[in-house]
Each structure stands twice: as C-alpha cells, then as structure tokens.
Chains A and B, each alone.
Chain A
Amino acid sequence: SQQGEEDPQALSIQEGENATMNCSYKTSINNLQWYRQNSGRGLVHLILIRSNEREKHSGRLRVTLDTSKKSSSLLITASRAADTASYFCATGIQGAQKLVFGQGTRLTINP
C-alpha cells in the first residue's frame, strides 16, 4: 500500500453534519499536510501539522496527528455545500526531501 492512504475514499453527508477523514502512512515524517481540491482546479493548502504536534485548528477544521499509530484525521465541523471537494493528505517524509500525496477522499455535502 502507499505512504499516504486516505479513508474513506468517498464520503457523502448532509449539510450541517461533521465530516471526518483519515490518513495513514508508513514511514517517519517531519510533517503532514492537508489539501482541498475542487473539481478541475488546483489544490489549496489547509493545514500543516508537524511531527511534534498532536492537534491543530483552523476555523471549522481540526487536524489530529498520532505518530505512534502513523495516522492523522481531518474533521470538518458544521459542513456546508461549499465544502464539497476532494481532500488529500501529504506527508513530508523524514530525510527524503519528499512530499507524498495520498489518493484523496471525495467529500459530498448534500443540501
């Protein structure tokens, strides 16, 4: 399996509900980043969390990192239709000068 794997691959929820996406990885990292991609557009950076951090918040976004389990989660609270997009985690691999992207979670918010 790949370095960064998101779970689930697709998620569909009602507007106002919370959305949780997970990312697992294999090797030691310096940081983990989350990006959003609207259909047919470029990626937009959301949050960067360093390996010595456990949780970060940005508006309605909450990211956690558990280095012992090699996993991260992205929580979007009070979802809106505009949150519909694909979400990617990217891991900065320690010692490799490399940022590896997962395959993404496709999130659909139903009005």
Chain B
Amino acid sequence: DGGITQSPKYLFRKEGQNVTLSCEQNLNHDAMYWYRQDPGQGLRLIYYSQIVNDFQKGDIAEGYSVSREKKESFPLTVTSAQKNPTAFYLCASSETATGFYNSPLHFGNGTRLTVT
C-alpha cells in the first residue's frame, strides 16, 4: 500500500542534542512538508520541498533543518537551537509541486518528540 512512513513513533532526547526524524513516501509525490502540532493546536508549517534538492522555510523554521536528496525522503533535524522542541511532528506529501495548496495532503502518523 502506498503511504507515508514516519519513524520512530516516539523519540526521547536530552536537551542540547540534535535529533533527526525520518519521513519516507512511496506515493511518487513531488511535494513534501513538515508540520508541528502542539496540544490542542492546529498545524504549523516548518519546511516544505517542492522538488528534489530544493526546500523552503515555512512559518516556524528556526531551530530546524531539512534535506531532500531523494524524492521519497524528507528528513527533519531538530537542532539544539530549537527552544521548545517537545511536540508532535507530522510529515505530509502532495501530488502537485506547484500550487500545492490546491491538492489534498497525505499525512504520516507522526513522531512524538519529548526533550527533557
């Protein structure tokens, strides 16, 4: 079955450590996204990529980094510069590389990151 796989489901890290969240898709979608969700909140866009080797900052990119070396993969690194990293992180993809807001997003099941 086609879909988006995020791993791990739960991640625990000590403050000051960088951590990388994995996102893989086999939907052959051009565009991929990372969102952050805090309790009782909507989703906020961290980074997005419309094509391999290119990505753009979203609304809350500070303290995060991404890469897009392959179409299927869009890993997110939460760096020690992120002041409040504990959150639920969601990866998504969509079919169209341009005007992505006109296409439904397909989401993975998320990674819950806890930093202590």
What secondary structure prevails in chain A residues at the interface with B?
strand
Contact B105 A45 (CB under 8 A): yes
A4 touches B104 (CB 8 A): no
| Chain A contacts for B45, CB-based, 8 A | 98-99
Q: Is the CB of A92 within 8 A of B102?
A: yes
CB distance from A7 to the nearest CB of B (A): 14
- Measured in the bound complex, the distance between the Cα atoms of B79 and A40 in whole Å is 24
B50 to chain A, nearest CB (A): 9
What class of interface size applies to chain A in its complex with B? 20 to 34
Tell me the complex Cα distance, A44–B100, Å: 16
Binding site for A on B (CB under 8 A): 4, 6, 35, 40-45, 90, 92, 99-110, 112
Residue positions of A touching B, CB distance < 8 A = 2, 4, 30-31, 33, 35, 40-45, 48, 50, 88, 90, 92-93, 96-99, 101-104
